[in-house]
Amino acid sequence: MLEVKRFSFRDKEMAEQAFAIRKKVFVEEQGVDPSLEYDHEKEARHYLLVLGGKAVATARWRETGKGIKLERFAVLPGFRNRGLGEIILREVLRDAVALEKPIYLHAQLRAVPFYERNGFYKSGEQFTEAGIGHFVMKLTD
C-alpha cells in the first residue's frame, strides 16, 4: 500500500523518518554538510511517502518572498525509478498550487529532466548550492 502523509515538524516520529531519508540521500550519498541540510523546518509543510509501511521518500515546501519554494525531495536509493518522486511531487503541487503564488525550486543538475517532465522550466544560469550544481526552476511566474 502506498500513502503520502502530510505532517508538521512538531510530529517528531514522522519528522525523524523524513530526516533519516534526507540524511541518507543528501548527507551520506551527496556529501551535503548537515548544517546546510536542516533549516526552515518549523515553517515548512512536510510530506512522507510510505510504501508497504516503510517511509521511502520525503519532500517539503515553504513560503518565501518569491512564492512557494519546493524543497528536499528525496527518494531512498532502492526505491528510485519507480515513479515515487512523481507521486510525492503531485501531492506537494496539489497543496501548493491552491495558494495561487509562483512556485519554484532549486533543482540539482541530475534532477532537471525530472522536473522538466513535470512542467517546470529552467530560469537563469546554473549556480552552486551546497557544493552541487543547480538551476532555479519555475512552474509558474
Task: Tell me what pLDDT residue 55 has.
Answer: 96
Instruction: Please compute the mean of the pLDDT values over residues 113-133 and round it to a whole number.
Output: 94
Task: Tell me what pLDDT residue 120 has.
Answer: 97
Q: What mean pLDDT is reported for the chain?
A: 93
Q: For the beta carbon of residue 90, count every other beta carbon within 10 angstroms.
A: 11
How far apart, in whole angstroms, are the C-alpha atoms of residue 18 and residue 4? 12
Contact predicate 53/5, CB 8 Å:
no
> Could you read off the pLDDT of 8-55 as tens digits, one per residue?
988 899 999 999 999 999 999 998 888 877 778 889 999 999 999 999
Under the banding of pLDDT at 50, 70 and 90, the label for residue 141 is low
In the predicted structure, residue 124 carries a pLDDT above the cut 60 = yes
> Could you read off the pLDDT of 84-112 as tens digits, one per residue?
999 999 999 999 998 999 999 999 999 99
CATH architecture of residue range(s) 2-138: 3-Layer(aba) Sandwich (3.40)
How far apart, in whole angstroms, are the C-alpha atoms of residue 105 and residue 100? 16
Task: Tell me what pLDDT residue 140 has.
Answer: 66
Cα separations (Å) of 112 from 26, 49, 108?
Answer: 17, 21, 7
Task: Tell me what pLDDT residue 72 has.
Answer: 94
In the predicted structure, residue 137 carries a pLDDT above the cut 60 = yes
Task: Tell me what pLDDT residue 92 has.
Answer: 96
Contact predicate 62/44, CB 8 Å:
yes
Is the pTM for the entire model greater than 0.85?
A: yes
